Amino acid sequence: MRMIPLAATVAFAALAAACGASGQNPTPAAPGTPLETRPANGTGQTPAFPGQTRAPAVTTSVAMAHTVVASGLDHPWGLALLPDGRWLVTERSGKLSIIAADGTKGAAIAGLPAVDARGQGGLLDVVVGPTFASDRMIYWSYAEPRDGGNATSVARGALSADGSRVDNVQVIFRALPIYDGDKHFGSSLAFAPDGKLFVTLGERSDRPMRPQAQDLGSHMGKTIRINADGTVPSDNPFVGQAGALPEIWSLGHRNVQGIAIGADNKVWTVEHGTRGGDEVNLDQRGLNYGWPDVAYGVEYAGGTISAGATQKEGTEQPVYYWDPVIAPGGATLYSGAMFPGWQGNLLVAGLKEKHIARLVIQNDRVVGEERLLTDLGERIRDVAVGPDGAVWAITDEANGKLVRLATR
């Protein structure tokens, strides 16, 4: 992949106005001092193992600054790198556009199906297919309007050579059941090295829907694994099990909006908790991640969740959780030349706390945390890495932005 240069024609004054020091070099905390110091909402809750929450603060030693590359986006949601260095960006209202590294934004790509953009719904994630070089396939998830309500769907289509439209659009997955609601659609997409497509789904939020996260006859609150054409892999964990939907990879999730898959095939998912209990999970085949039977944190209105249980036999513990929450969006595993000390770190977009969380992972445990892009002051929705190792992000705002974070 080619490098992504900033536009050489950008005037110095304009560039300076768009740039900001990222505030990444504060006085380092004492070794072992947790980054998070605010009181937890889940008073008296005990982590299942040391380091499961409130990891020690770490600090990147090199100076960084961000550049606002593009603005005027309507609540952008998903971010995907094309092979030529341009970015596919979704806007929740239903638009998919291509933005160049110099900030030039193309017209909305034609051919996408209608979306239900109420509440948290709309056009969600986008990924470039693993065989794009030969078939130009891109994939996107969205809240699909259906008779009686809506649900998350995944479609694919061939991006035209000029980037103006998608052709031969196919809906390759439709989550069930249909529900008339406007929350917790998920949904993040990622291809594994073997070409299988992972889709994350929420349980639709409302109390009557919560138990479906534990129901193998429902897609709600699940991680899904399908082939690129939407068919079911024969080695999925619940294939052939009576009453179970064969697309299901794992269950017991609340609202997963971040997924990252490493070259080692490990699947990392990040999901929203209530007041406390945002989770990072090592998402493994056939396992149950507990929602709503177990959770950290408390209800939005106060009070315990499922009698306050944080552990239960037969359910998995999160690798890491936040309390108070950061409200996590998209996620990516860092691999790049610009920040060699970050190799293998998990970068998580933070909506509520308006930063990117850099999580240092060793032996499948979080051993350090840093907050990046804190001075931007906007809700970070998704995060990705450019070919040169710079970090790119989009902000979930009415005047949403595409931002590049790099060394100074």
In eight-state DSSP terms, residue 211 is G
Q: How far is CA 311 from the centre of its chain?
A: 25
Tokens 């408390």 found at: 298
Whether 372 is in a domain gets the answer yes
Going by C-alpha positions, the residue among 230, 147, 142 that lies closest to residue 187 is 142
Give 273-332 pLDDT, tens digit per residue: 999 999 999 999 999 999 999 999 999 999 999 999 999 999 999 999 999 999 999 999
Split into its structural domains, the chain has a count of 1
What are the phi and psi torsion angles at 407 (to 5°)? -70, 155
Overall average pLDDT of the 368-381 stretch: 98
DSSP H helices, 300-361, are: none
> Does 10 map to a domain?
no
Give the integer Cα–Cα distance in Å for 44 and 58. Answer: 26
Say whether pLDDT at 1 is over 90: no
Task: CATH number of the domain at 242, please.
Answer: 2.120.10.30
**Residue 181 lies inside a defined structural domain of this protein:** yes
Tell me, what's the pLDDT at 32? 81
Q: Tens digits of per-residue pLDDT, 85-120?
A: 999 999 999 999 999 999 999 999 999 999 999 999
Mean pLDDT of the chain: 93
Cβ atoms of 321 and 280 closer than 8 Å: yes
Q: Specify if 241 maps to a domain.
A: yes
Identify whether 8 is part of a domain: no
CA atoms of 137 and 128, how far apart (whole Å): 7
Q: What is the DSSP letter of 110?
A: B
pLDDT in tens, 137-160: 999 999 999 999 999 999 999 999
Query: Does residue 127 lie in a domain region?
Result: yes
- Residue 88 has which token pair? 């596919």
Please tell me the predicted confidence (pLDDT) of residue 31.
62
- Cα(108)–Cα(363) distance, integer angstroms: 43
Q: What is the dihedral of CA 175, 179, 181, 186, to 10 degrees?
A: -20
C-alpha span between 222 and 264 (Å, rounded): 22
Is this structure's pTM higher than 0.85? yes
Length of the chain in terms of residues written:
408
What pLDDT is stored for residue 8 in this prediction? Answer: 31
Is-contact 138 156, C-beta < 8 A?
Answer: yes
Is 7 within a domain?
no
Range of the domain at 368: 16-407
- Strand (E) positions, 56-148? 64-73, 76-81, 87-91, 95-99, 123-128, 137-146
Within 10 angstroms of residue 349's Cβ, the number of other Cβ atoms is 30
Q: How far apart are CA 64 and CA 59, in angstroms?
A: 12
Q: SS3 string of 362-374? A: ECCEEEEEEEECC
What pLDDT does residue 42 have?
96
Domain-located, residue 2: no
For residue 108, how many other CB atoms are within 10 A of its CB?
15
- Residue 207 confidence (pLDDT) above 70: yes
% of the chain surpassing 70 pLDDT: 92
Residue 56 has a pLDDT of 97
What are the residue numbers of the active site? 184
Beta bridge partners of 274: 276
- Provide the CB-side half-sphere exposure for 261 (13 A, CA): 20
**Two tokens, residue 277:** 């209990």
